[in-house]
Amino acid sequence: MNRFLTLLSLVCVLSILGCGQSDGPKLGEVDGIVTIDGKPTANLKVLFVPTTGGRTSQGTTNSEGYYQLYYSASKLGAIVGEHEVTISEIADNSDANYQPTVPKKYTDAVKKVTIEGGDNKIDLSYPQ
């Protein structure tokens, strides 16, 4: 009986160790500058959607047009591989007279990029 309990305990411990959470998919860190008509553009949401499926990564441009992608609230980066990239303007909902300043042809555009492991500097220029 003692041998059985020892074996059962060992199986339980190994099961717990073997069923830990994985680190998730391989990510590459991504940042860059978004320019429209040659000027860095603030208040844009930048989305990187993996073409093979998986979680979308996103970032927001600051006053210098700089963005950094987040895979989740606590993880920087995007899944390694090919992505479709889109931008959208962050609307000022507090202004009843708000009018978008980014031409629709740019927010409708889809760019393809490839993310590699490590650091990726991906500047996005519109038009191009």
Domain 23-126 has CATH 2.60.40.10: yes
- Residue-level pLDDT at 14: 45
What was the pLDDT predicted at 12? Answer: 47
Per-residue pLDDT, 69: 99
| Block mean pLDDT (10 aa), the chain, length 128 | 49 47 86 98 98 98 98 97 97 83 93 98 94
* Token pair belonging to 110: 């889809």
Residue 13's pLDDT is 45
Whole-model pTM?
0.79
How do the domains of the chain map onto residue ranges?
Answer: 23-126
- Rounded CA separation 61/120 (Å): 16
Residue 87's SS3 state is strand
Given this model, what pLDDT does residue 23 score?
Answer: 74
Q: The tokens of 15 are what?
A: 């099961």
Cα 72 to Cα 56: distance, rounded to the nearest angstrom: 9
d(CA 60, CA 87): 9
Give the bridge partners for 58, in sequence order: 47, 70
49 Cα distance to chain centroid = 8
pLDDT at 32: 99
